[in-house]
Amino acid sequence: MHERLSSPSRLNRRSALGGIATAAAVLGIRSGAGRATAQEATPSALATSPIVGAWQWNADLASPEPSNFALFHADGTYTEWQPVAGQAIGIWRMSGERTYELLFVFPDTDPSLEGFGPGTATFLITIALDASGNAFTAVGTIDVRDAGGTSLLTVPFTRPATRMTFETNPATGSIPATPMAGTPTS
């Protein structure tokens, strides 16, 4: 049997490349070890925030539309479902004792039930939570852009929301459902 030996130059290149890869991995781990994202920096503050939970964006009686439902997650992420635009994802952070900043994006620019408009509708809003912790008012803007990123329009946004509980939810009538056109609201 004849064993084939590798040349010293081949071994040296392998050793060098292996050493570089190991060093890069160690440096990458070390350099990342001291950094933390905003969500990682204060997980207990976010997890215990009174905004964490399920919410219903209340219908505006002056301009009825289908209700949206949202979740403020304890890790600083946000998800929302709206029957017209579909699913939104976003992030939130505390800006004061009972105030928050919220940024979320829907991948649809058509505000009608009839179609889909490729692009984004980005909401950048501030939230003021009431003393009970069960209602808030949001104020901000919606930035609508086409699929190429060109701004189509920016519109103001103001809307209240109510925390969903077993006692306070659309089925009990305690959260206003979307009124139908021509239906009395009282």
Alpha-carbon span 160 to 33, nearest angstrom: 41
Helix (H) or strand (E) holding 162: strand 151-163
- Residue pLDDT, tens place only, 32-54: 444 444 445 455 677 889 999 99
- Look up residue 75 and give its DSSP letter: T
Specify the pTM: 0.67
The pLDDT score that the predictor gives to residue 99 is 97
The pLDDT score that the predictor gives to residue 112 is 61
Give the count of alpha carbons within 13 A of 53, CB side only. Answer: 17
- Contact (CB, 8 A) for 120 and 105: yes
The neighbour count for residue 109, using CB atoms within 10 Å, is: 19
Report the b/e string of 114-150 with b at 16+ CB within 10 A.
eeebebbbbbbbebebeeeebbbebebebbbbeeeee
- Residue pLDDT, tens place only, 99-150: 999 999 998 777 665 667 788 999 999 999 999 999 999 999 999 998 899 9
Q: Tokens 């009608």 identify what position?
A: 112
Top pLDDT among 168 and 116 is at 168
